Structure 1
Amino acid sequence: MSGNDHDYRHWRGLLDVLIEGAYIVDKHRKILYWNKAAEKITSYRKDEILGRSCMDNILMHVDEAGNSLCKGDCPLAKTLKDGKIREANVYLHHKDGYRKPVCIRVVPLRNDYGEIHAALELFNDKTPEEALKQRMTELEKLAMFDELTKLPNRRYVEERLEDFMNDFMRHKLRFGVIFMDIDHFKSFNDTYGHVAGDKVLKIVANTLLGASRVSDVVGRWGGEEFVALIKNVNMKTIETIAERYRLLVESSSFELNGESLSVTISIGATLAKQGDTKESIIKRADELMYISKQRGRNRLTIG
């Protein structure tokens, strides 16, 4: 780092011990500094990041609707221009390919003349780690998690579905079921191999998990199918959650032999109704997912 190097020296000791990720960019958004927490949260090492532009296919921030912020409504770019401090909830692109939820705060850095010459972005991992670790420990004891994706397996989802159904019948606590299937997964496996296919399953699993609340249950149903059980929702809320899943999976990707690969999911979503059984609500969500397939894939059907 040259020119303004002295301006950052007093930051480094502090930033390196933060549990928040932190990085500094110049006016052209070239990354000048990357702290240890940023490495931990994103899995990108400092030597992979420094000197590159944050727009250069690295973090690729998107909002809940999957809209790219790097080339559009970028908080960093705005702060570099007007000097205002900004906060936002976004999803960054983890080195392993999935979307991770983070809360960012952007602060302008000024030189001795008061001119903005750089910006600092701080970011927190919003994945509920402690709750997830506790749930994982419980699932491991009960052999109710999927070894590949580390999500709850079908047996666990079915047992929780029974709990949700009981609460619905006894206490009128509404819930929804979201049934998801990776589009053209067999073709993807045939083209790129099972190792790449396993990578895709992990990316989708981690993206769904990061886009969910602690109270929701997201599990691998089998093969390339995933199911989410969503508490306390109406039709509008379950549509919002399911669309968030779809858009974030669509915007996730990973590199293989110089090629950027990504997948999409087709989704069926429904709310519990009077007279439903565990079997009927899953069947309805599954059938709605197949309607999404028939209508062109990478879409949501609600019913």
Structure 2
Amino acid sequence: MEIQHNAFAKIIDNIHDGLYIVDKNRVITYWNKAAERITGFSAAEVTGHSCSENILTHIDSEGNSLCTGMCPLAETMADGIMRETEVYLHHKNGQRVPVSVRVTPLTDISGQVVGGIELFTDISSKSANVLKIKELEKLALLDHLTKLANRACVERELTGRLEEFCRYGNPFGIFLMDIDHFKNVNDTYGHDVGDLVLKFVAETFTANSRAFDLYGRWGGEEFIAVIRNITPEAHSKLGDRIRMLIENAYIIHDGKKLHVTISMGATIILKQDTMDSLVKRADTLLYQSKAEGRNRMTYG
């Protein structure tokens, strides 16, 4: 059975995964509906533009920029080898979203590479976080601006994790995080822009969290995360990745990219800890990060 061209195009446009096509100069020629949903950018905003214009500003897990250099799509177009990897794209709202990408060369009838195709899947714990938000709303435990757990909810979570640690020895850690120079953002751009910054920082947390971890707003521009069943090494690595993702996230304001960074204190539960001692230690480490230049994590 021969599939009509328009029927084939309709199938591609309505698949669950994001898909886009570039020509040999890496100019985007096609952008499907799922790509619009996952990134927040419409087809009209990206088609006709080159990847090198850095609209999506893909970065890898080390924070390296991919769009201006040899990204997986460019490498595949150069050597004809299909690739799969995980990267972090920039959502139009500002947050970083983890995606699994599969790239393949696009060839003409003679086998010459004339472009490339990238298929990408949102691998954040989005569905689990949506359910978590609904549960928190019912219990009045949600911060309504950021859609994170509020302080009362975090304190309840910490109490539960401490009891679990005392009974079964299950380890957990926390991150205490503060947006650097946030007062300057409010003073320079206004509180509406400040609210947008708080939201995209929060959305970067939730998009890159495990379903059973909890991220909350501790107060003002300060956030906290309760990370279950984690080793010190994995905890430190996760914290530094979160810091890097925030550093590489941004919103567009008056046609310019507005970036922020976070400072962080990270620590693991100890046998003698109470909730107060655990949070106080993280707070001391957070202020050490600020004293040493900000945009860093101090672990202890």
Q: Give % identity.
A: 50
Aligned equivalents of 2:40 and 2:121: distance in 1?
14
Find 1:93's aligned residue among 85, 90, 94.
Answer: 90
Q: Name the residue aligned to 1:212.
A: 209
- The normalised TM-score by structure 2 is 0.96
Q: Name the residue aligned to 2:135.
A: 138
Q: Does residue 228 in structure 1 map to residue 214 in structure 2?
A: no
Q: Name the residue aligned to 2:33.
A: 36
Q: Shift of the alpha carbon at 1:42?
A: 0.9
Matched residue count:
296
Q: State which drifts further: 187-196 or 11-20.
A: 11-20
1:237-291 CA-partner distances (Å, limit 9, x unpaired):
1111100111000001112112211000000000000110011101110110000
Find 2:67's aligned residue among 70, 82, 95.
Answer: 70
Does the 8 Å CA contact 1:65/1:248 hold for their aligned counterparts? no
Does the 8 Å CA contact 1:211/1:244 hold for their aligned counterparts? no
Does the 8 Å CA contact 2:54/2:68 hold for their aligned counterparts? no
Does the 8 Å CA contact 1:131/1:214 hold for their aligned counterparts? yes
Aligned equivalents of 1:77 and 1:10: distance in 2?
29
- Indicate the RMSD between aligned Cα atoms, in angstroms: 1.3
Find 1:263's aligned residue among 240, 250, 260.
Answer: 260
Q: Name the residue aligned to 1:4.
A: none
Aligned equivalents of 1:212 and 1:230: distance in 2?
9
Q: Name the residue aligned to 1:24.
A: 21
Q: State which drifts further: 192-201 or 52-61.
A: 52-61
Q: Shift of the alpha carbon at 1:10?
A: 7.7
1:208-230 CA-partner distances (Å, limit 9, x unpaired):
11221111111111100010111
- The normalised TM-score by structure 1 is 0.95
Q: Name the residue aligned to 1:203.
A: 200
Query: Which stretches in structure 2 are left out of the alignment for 5+ residues?
Result: none
Q: Shift of the alpha carbon at 1:123?
A: 0.7
Q: Residue type of the partner of 1:109?
A: L
Q: Residue type of the partner of 1:27?
A: K
Q: Shift of the alpha carbon at 1:55?
A: 2.3
Aligned equivalents of 1:150 and 1:89: distance in 2?
26
Q: Shift of the alpha carbon at 1:235?
A: 1.4
Q: Shift of the alpha carbon at 1:64?
A: 1.8
Map 1:1-303 to 2 at 5 A: 12-303=9-300
Does the 8 Å CA contact 1:154/1:222 hold for their aligned counterparts? yes
Q: Shift of the alpha carbon at 1:9?
A: 6.7
1:160-211 CA-partner distances (Å, limit 9, x unpaired):
1111111111101001010000000011110111011001101110111122
Q: State which drifts further: 32-41 or 120-129.
A: 120-129
The 3-state SS of whatever aligns with 2:184 is helix
Aligned equivalents of 2:130 and 2:118: distance in 1?
27
Query: Which stretches in structure 1 are left out of the alignment for 5+ residues?
Result: 1-7
Q: Shift of the alpha carbon at 1:301?
A: 0.3
The 3-state SS of whatever aligns with 2:100 is strand
Does the 8 Å CA contact 2:76/2:103 hold for their aligned counterparts? yes
Q: Residue type of the partner of 2:123?
A: K
Q: Shift of the alpha carbon at 1:127?
A: 1.8
Q: Residue type of the partner of 2:76?
A: T
Q: Shift of the alpha carbon at 1:106?
A: 0.5
Does the 8 Å CA contact 1:266/1:292 hold for their aligned counterparts? yes
Aligned equivalents of 1:23 and 1:68: distance in 2?
19
Aligned equivalents of 2:218 and 2:104: distance in 1?
43
